[in-house]
């Protein structure tokens, strides 16, 4: 296999495992509103989250080129792997409690954007770390995570629950990216 094909497979696995949480949060916030407002919250919330995710992904990809920051990114990904193992693989997912003010549409849209930004760090870091300097694959990974978040979250969550091996393969892909980032930085320091 070529390096780009391996990177592409890693990106797809990372997106599959990590993108579902964001869509679940969007669904939870939107479910507190009437149908007409629900569609607006989903549209504007995802739209704002997409713009911020694009910005953060390219900033992260740039920062991962700086020596020393790959080590930090790799260590952060190791923590994300631990958290993923604990939460998803061991089926200890707790119901996320999000306070939603269902009296104000703008506050709900802001809640969706904020939730996505805070929860997408793992996805952004994983995809940017896996893509390395392959910016077309980075753009693909970003697009895939957005599509999974916006349109296929429920299906993806059901797929992962039904076939738990997907979580294991995704976890291994994230671990590989973490070790690669750490190794690349340590190799430069030694």
Number of domains the chain contains:
1
Q: Other CB atoms closer than 10 Å to residue 95's CB: what's the count?
A: 6
- Yes or no: say if 13 and 127 are a contact pair by the CB < 8 Å rule: no
User: What is the C-alpha to C-alpha distance for residues 118 and 74, in angstroms, rounded to an integer?
Assistant: 18
Q: Which domain holds residue 106?
A: 3-189
Across the range 164-185, mean pLDDT stands at: 82
pLDDT at 93: 46
Q: In whole angstroms, what separates CA 15 from the centre of its chain? A: 6
Of the listed ranges 18-22, 49-53, 132-136, the one predicted with least confidence: 18-22
Across the range 104-117, mean pLDDT stands at: 76
The pLDDT tens digits of the residues spanning 121-133 come to: 777 888 888 888 8
User: What is the C-alpha to C-alpha distance for residues 144 and 15, in angstroms, rounded to an integer?
Assistant: 7
- Yes or no: say if 178 and 81 are a contact pair by the CB < 8 Å rule: yes
Across the range 64-83, mean pLDDT stands at: 83
DSSP codes joined into one string, 51-105: HHHHHHHHHHHHHTTSTTHHHHHHHHHHHHHHHHIIIIITT-PPPP-----TT-H
Q: Other CB atoms closer than 10 Å to residue 17's CB: what's the count?
A: 25
Q: In whole angstroms, what separates CA 80 from the centre of its chain? A: 11
- Indicate yes or no: pTM above 0.75: no
Q: In which band, very low, low, confident or very high, does the pLDDT at 137 lie, cut at 50, 70 and 90? A: confident
Q: Which two tokens stand for residue 143?
A: 């697009």
Q: Which two tokens stand for residue 83?
A: 């958290």
3-state secondary structure of 151: coil
pLDDT at 100: 57
- Residue 76, pLDDT > 60, answer yes
Angle at 173 between CA 170 and CA 175, to 5 degrees: 110
- Residue 97, pLDDT > 70, answer no
Q: Which residue has the tokens 């999974």?
A: 148
């Amino acid at each position: 296999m070529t390096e780009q094909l391996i990177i592409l497979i890693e990106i797809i696995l990372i997106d599959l495992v990590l993108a579902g949480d964001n869509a679940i949060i969007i669904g939870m916030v939107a479910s507190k509103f009437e149908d007409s407002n629900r569609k607006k919250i989903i549209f504007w919330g995802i739209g704002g989250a997409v713009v911020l995710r694009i910005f953060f992904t390219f900033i992260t990809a740039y920062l991962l080129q700086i020596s020393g920051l790959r080590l930090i990114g790799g260590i952060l990904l190791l923590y994300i792997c631990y958290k993923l193992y604990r939460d998803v693989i061991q089926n200890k997912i707790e119901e996320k409690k999000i306070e939603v003010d269902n009296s104000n549409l703008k506050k709900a849209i802001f809640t969706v954007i904020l939730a996505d930004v805070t929860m997408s760090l793992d996805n952004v870091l994983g995809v940017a770390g896996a893509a390395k300097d392959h910016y077309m694959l980075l753009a693909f990974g970003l697009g895939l995570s957005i599509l999974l978040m916006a349109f296929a979250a429920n299906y993806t969550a059901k797929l992962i629950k039904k076939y738990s091996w997907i979580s294991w393969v995704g976890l291994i892909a994230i671990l590989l990216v973490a070790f690669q980032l750490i190794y690349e930085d340590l190799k430069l320091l030694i």
